[in-house]
Amino acid sequence: MKNPLLKAFDTPYQAAPFADILIDHFVPAIEKSIEEALSEIDEIVAQPHPATFENTIAPLDACGSLLARNSSLLFNLNSAATSPELQKATQAVAPQLATFQNRIRSNTKLFKRIEEVYKNTAPKSRTPEEHTLLEKEYRGFVRNGALLDATQKERLKEIDIKLSQLGLTFGEHTLADTHAFELNITDKNQLKGLPENHLEAAAQAAEEKGKNGWIFTLDYPSYVPFMTYVEDRDLRKKMSLAYGKIGFQKNENNNEEVIKQLVELRQQRAQLLGYASHAAFVLEERMAKDEATVYSFLNTLKEKARPAAEKEWAELEKMAKEFGIETLQKWDTAFLTEKIKQQLLQLDEQALREYFPLKHTLEGLFAITKKLYQLEFELINNVDPYHNDVSVYKVTKTNGQYVALLYLDFYPRESKRSGAWMTSFKSQHATERPHISIVCNFSKPTKEKPALLTFNEVTTLFHEFGHALHGMLAQTVYSGLSGTSVYWDFVELPSQIMENWCYQNEALHLFAKHYKTQEPLPDHYIEKIEKVAQFQQGLQTLRQLSFAYLDMSYHTTHEVQIVDIKKHEKALFEPFNFTPDQEENCMSTAFSHIFQGGYAAGYYSYKWAEVLDADAFELFLEKGIFDTNTAANFEEHILSKGGTEHPMELYKRFRKKAPNPEALLKRAGLID
């Protein structure tokens, strides 16, 4: 079988030839790539010369580039365009990749060479990037068992293989449960309150499935508008309970045992390596450093948010009375919140959507990044997309310098997991430019209207684009330190700071225009958008904090093993919940961020990074939101540097001071 994955791609920009890649190519290609990577390791180890940075650390960073490329392709496709066959291939290679990593990390001869360089290298004899890479490689080996004995290393290998499989299983279960549910309504009267554009999308979904009426699913663009606008409380309850059951039903997709195993194995792994908990292991390489710092940070925000949240909840209860609701339930909050927003801010979210067609919003985003970072985006057709919904752009500086390829994938489908994320198909290093992908789940265009974004979807697009800029503008020598390869509680700074431009007059005037008339977004709408930024920030902050506390509770030292996921979650959420608990629902079983993604013991980082972004954006507000010098400094010290130095040093170099938490509290309206 001719396998395109076994060699460098002979394509424009060395882009993946998706049209030529078959699912059957992946397993043999990755197996072969593993063999080649191990041979490269053997060459490093077999050198007769004493270990140096140049003959050990640098080639180790470059080792396995073909394997990294092929595994990235597989896992990215498994998230964005999966199938039963692709899931099977992913499950097949996951343990092999875990074994490969373990073989490298347990290679005593390799570690001896790394240790030799580490102990014999004076910090000032290397560039900051070289010093950071050396530190990262040494700690990486130690944190993956290099100092363990043979028996302990074998146990670590078993744990790592099992963890890799469990993470994939968790994601497959949530995806299967999400797509197993649909609500087919044939009486339009039951959908009173739902805006026409969402009715059109639901009717189109039904037509595509050969059914009458309207179909609603648990995918974000379908679920959220339904919960926000449909007046039929019983239907909202039905949808809400279905959403809360993802991974928590008595079927083959139940994630309770998966979570227990993940949590227990992570704890065992940490203790095997000499850490008190998985959180202690993770936080050693975070800006926060330790559990005490995280809890102190969360507690401070909770203290500031609680009074505002209680006031906001009282407003919701008052509004509930107007609809004859005596006891507020979780399926009421989005609906009543929208009513209050319309009443207090007189902001019609659906009318607002008409000023944010996806096409114009994307063009506006391109215009903003051109002003800030001198970037140009050219839609190209000589590179294969991995799906018909995907567009590919060539990104250059305005002087013509090639920067990156950018894949954009915006619409939901059954083969794509929910949410929004940025990823890469090819990493950047000294001689290679990156291939970056943004994947979202926005409302599709209908027969009558183009794709129109809610304001929340606008901020999501800007957020993921911030991550993409971090990847595209990387200028590191070594791929292991490039782009988003930074401390996890620093990685959200580039993404969250981009959201700020969504609230600025000068930026909105570039692209916010009515999809029919091209009329610019009226100033009174912009004033309301600015007020939305502070709307219900108390409740929203508490909600995010509850997820962070839940995450930490699974990954800090626990004296008694968690035997009941639901009871554990319920007890943890008790101080944060204003609505009664629903016994048949569980959030943990669909908490992909910490059980499938990389946010275990790190969910707090969203709020942590908000402090950084609020503080950093104050400088843009002071100098001008399109000030080229400020943007150039942000690119030079943050976006281009990746993980080449400690993030606090990079931040201080840009901001000339440490971040001030009050910037976030002021922006959120939680303090004066």
DSSP for 333-348 reads HHHHHHHHHHHHT---
Burial 398-420 (b: 16+ CB within 10 A, else e): eeeeebbbbbbbbbbbebbbbeb
CA torsion, points 252, 257, 262, 263, in degrees to nearest 10? 150
Percentage of the chain exceeding pLDDT 70? 99
| Residue 36 DSSP code | H
- 35 given a catalytic annotation: no
Instruction: Flag whether pLDDT at 414 surpasses 60.
Output: yes
The Cα–Cα gap between 346 and 369 comes to: 31
Q: How confident is the model at residue 124 (pLDDT cuts 50, 70, 90)?
A: confident
**145 token code pair:** 């068992």
Domain topology for 4-105+107-144 = Glutathione S-transferase Yfyf (Class Pi); Chain A, domain 2 (1.20.1050)
Instruction: Flag whether pLDDT at 467 surpasses 60.
Output: yes
pLDDT score of 661:
83
Start-to-end C-alpha separation, the chain: 67
pLDDT score of 649:
95
At 401, is the secondary structure helix, strand, or coil?
A: coil
Pairing, β 435-439 against β 402-409: parallel
CB-based contacts of 462, cutoff 8 Å, min separation 6: 365, 498, 499, 501, 502
Average pLDDT over residues 265-285: 95
Long-range pairs for 323-326 at CB < 8 Å and ≥24 separation?
A: 325/233
Q: How confident is the model at residue 605 (pLDDT cuts 50, 70, 90)?
A: very high
Give whole-number Cα distances, 464 to 284, 441, 626, in Å: 27, 12, 20
Q: Which of 544, 347, 377, 361 is nearest to 443 (CA)?
A: 361
Q: Which of 200-204, 309-313, 515-519, 526-530 has the lowest mean pLDDT?
A: 526-530
- Tens digits of residue pLDDT in 48-103: 999 999 999 999 999 999 999 999 999 999 999 999 999 999 999 999 998 999 88
The Cα–Cα gap between 477 and 134 comes to: 13
pLDDT score of 653:
97
Q: How confident is the model at residue 560 (pLDDT cuts 50, 70, 90)?
A: low
pLDDT score of 1:
60
Paired with 391 in beta bridges are: 408
Instruction: Flag whether pLDDT at 105 surpasses 90.
Output: no
- Tens digits of residue pLDDT in 485-523: 999 889 999 999 999 999 999 999 999 999 999 999 998
Active-site residue (options: 172, 312, 464, 635): 464
pLDDT score of 561:
78
Q: Which of 98, 393, 409, 536 is nearest to 544 (CA)?
A: 536
Q: In which residue are the tokens 């958008």 written?
A: 529
Instruction: Flag whether pLDDT at 123 surpasses 70.
Output: no
Paired with 397 in beta bridges are: 375
Q: Who wins on pLDDT, 196 or 348?
A: 196
For the chain, domain boundaries = 4-105+107-144, 181-244
pTM given for the model: 0.84
Q: Which of 295-304, 612-621, 660-669 has the lowest mean pLDDT?
A: 660-669
- Residue 484's CB is within 10 A of a number of other CB atoms, namely 22
Average pLDDT over residues 324-345: 93
- Tens digits of residue pLDDT in 417-444: 888 999 999 999 999 999 999 999 998 8
Mean pLDDT of the chain: 94
pLDDT score of 559:
55
Q: How many CA atoms lie within 13 A of 228 on its CB side?
A: 17
- Tens digits of residue pLDDT in 352-394: 999 999 999 999 999 999 999 999 999 999 999 999 999 999 9
Helix (H) or strand (E) holding 266: helix 256-272
Instruction: Flag whether pLDDT at 169 surpasses 80.
Output: yes
At 421, is the secondary structure helix, strand, or coil?
A: strand
Dmax (CA) for the chain in angstroms is 82
Q: Give the Cα-Cα-Cα angle 488, 490, 494 (nearest 5 degrees).
A: 120
Contact 254, 589 (CB under 8 A): yes
- Helix, strand, coil % (nearest 5) of the chain? 60, 5, 35
In this structure, which amino acid lies at residue 454? T
Paired with 513 in beta bridges are: 520
Three-state SS for 152-201 is: HHHHHHHHHHHHHHHHHHHHHHHHHHHHHCCEEECCHHHHCCCCHHHHHH
**578 token code pair:** 């204003």
| Residue 520 DSSP code | B
